[in-house]
Structure formats: structure tokens, C-alpha cells
């Protein structure tokens, strides 16, 4: 009986970790999108063309990709 409870506890904690990782990934995607959009709007307000602002804001996406790849590498994926 004790082994079954231990296995269920392990499964529960693994599920919790996966859920936390998934929620942090979704949160990061959302925050990068908001930051990129805010940067583009501010750049356009200060006189930069919309195309140039989009090109400059691609840095946010590149940094998010690097962060995701680093997290994926640390998990062994």
C-alpha cells in the first residue's frame, strides 16, 4: 500500500512541475508579445517608421527564443 501512495505522490509532483513549466512558458510568450507591441508603439510615437520599429522589436523575439532554448537545454530536451 505504501508503494502505491509513493508512486501516486511522485506522479502528482511531476504533473505539478509540468503544469508550472507550461504556465511559465505561456506567461513568457504573453509578456514578450506585450513588450514588443509597447516598444513598437513608443518607437512610432518618437518618429521611427513602423517597419523600422518592427525590425528593432524583433530583438525581443530573439531573446525569448534564446531563453526558451536555454531552458529546454537545461531540461534535456
* pTM attached to this predicted model: 0.71
Q: What is the pLDDT of residue 36?
A: 93
Q: pLDDT of 8-67, one tens digit each? A: 999 999 999 999 989 998 999 999 999 999 999 999 999 999 999 999 999 988 998 998
Q: What is the dihedral of CA 16, 19, 58, 60, to 10 degrees?
A: -30
Q: What is the pLDDT of residue 13?
A: 96
pLDDT at 71 over 90: no
The rounded Cα 32 to chain-centroid distance in angstroms is 7
Residue 35 CB: number of other CB atoms within 10 A?
14
Q: Which residue has the higher pLDDT, 75 or 25?
A: 25
Amino acid at each position: 500500500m505504501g508503494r502505491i501512495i509513493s508512486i501516486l505522490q511522485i506522479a502528482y509532483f511531476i504533473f505539478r512541475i509540468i503544469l508550472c513549466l507550461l504556465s511559465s512558458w505561456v506567461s513568457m510568450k504573453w509578456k514578450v508579445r506585450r513588450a514588443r507591441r509597447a516598444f513598437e508603439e513608443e518607437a512610432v510615437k518618437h518618429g521611427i517608421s513602423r517597419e523600422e520599429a518592427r525590425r528593432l522589436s524583433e530583438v525581443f523575439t530573439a531573446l525569448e527564443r534564446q531563453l526558451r532554448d536555454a531552458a529546454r537545454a537545461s531540461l534535456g530536451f
